[in-house]
A and B are shown apart, each in its own frame.
Chain A
């Protein structure tokens, strides 16, 4: 980000390529509308571009960009009072797997006993309160520590730890059936 702030456009391209997938999923899984998610995603990166001169490497870039995304999401949540996120392609179409997260060795469906379990998992995920879902997704998508999530969301570490723990417990329960 510092290189980009100094005028290196290539540095931004590398940064964007590295984080776009995780940031997009974080936003998309926090909002019910894909169009809204795309708009917020674009807005987040535009804000990052505008704020490049004010960027200070006090925290990881991940924490910084997720903090921007969090603030933007909170605005939307407040405005719309959202809490549920469709993840199962509610419009019926099978969405292509672009930029899949994680190691291909961890083939998701291979590790789930059946589609039923996956369905329960999705339902439980959608039912998570936004704050719990947000903390959980930051941890899973960006591999952020509890402390980093606390910085990005403006919370304290205990609260973040508690949100992740509750989210994980509910999702585990859904998997176990």
Chain B
């Protein structure tokens, strides 16, 4: 018997008084459904923290690499932006040509590209100075992107007296990147912070008598971890007495 149904019985069942939920219950259920979709779905909430940590990490690494690549290099005591590598390279002053190799070595490590280019110039430092620099400098080092370098500058000839400062836009962009990196690193460290670590810092502030800072940190802690139950032991250490 695949379908144990009887038409008369079914008809009789359908003859029973029809019923439905009261309108108040309808309204309550539908309102609950609207409230539920108004909030973020549970699945999204579950992945929110790991996703934001991953995003922050990726951003921080990218920004750090960018900042590292764009770091200004002190050549002959003058800050030169990476963009200047695309510009005509400044010629060393005669008295500076007497610089010794050890003095230049750190600069070489900081920015091998610039030194390599400098070594290639006819009036570059003596061979003893250039040799280690070339050894360190990767021959396939790519040219920097040149944040705001004008297109015509790339192919410009080396000028003897032109120490061109980095364009304003490039400086601003670098400053912006550095600021962004700081913010991202701060966010990342906050995201990876455990409640216990934060409580420890608050306790430190309190122990040092920095009550205003400790109160502020405690307020931030309560906002960040509203459902965290602070133990009595911690409370004794972090609350103002």
Contacts and interface: CB of A to CB of B under 8 A. Distances in A.
Contacts of A168: 4-6, 9
Contact of B13 (A8, A117, A171): A171
A57 interface: no
A164 B4 contact: yes
Contact of A99 (B8, B10, B20, B32): B20
Given A9-B33, A16-B29, A16-B33, A38 B22 contact: yes
Q: Which among B3, B10, B30, B33 has the greatest number of chain A C-beta atoms within 10 A?
A: B33
A96 B14 CA distance: 15
A98 B9 contact: no
Contact of B25 (A41, A50, A106, A140): A41
B128 to A, nearest CB: 70
A17 to B, nearest CB: 9
Contacts of B25: 38, 41-42
B16 interface: yes
Contacts, number: 128
Contacts of A74: none
Contacts of B42: 53
A107 to B, nearest CB: 8
Interface in A54-97: 87, 89, 94-95, 97
Interface residues of A, number: 56
Contacts of B33: 4, 9, 12-13, 16, 49
A7 interface: yes
B168 interface: no
Contact of A13 (B4, B16, B30, B43): B30
Interface string A101-114: 11000111101100
A38 B26 CA distance: 10
Nearest to A23: B21
Given A9-B33, A164-B5, 15 more contacts: A24-B20, A41-B25, A87-B16, A89-B17, A99-B19, A101-B18, A107-B15, A111-B11, A112-B15, A125-B16, A161-B1, A165-B1, A168-B9, A171-B13, A172-B8
29 contacts: A6-B41, A9-B33, A9-B37, A12-B30, A12-B34, A12-B37, A13-B33, A24-B20, A25-B19, A38-B21, A41-B21, A42-B25, A53-B41, A53-B42, A53-B43, A94-B17, A98-B18, A101-B14, A101-B18, A106-B14, A117-B12, A136-B13, A139-B5, A140-B10, A140-B13, A140-B14, A146-B2, A168-B5, A172-B6
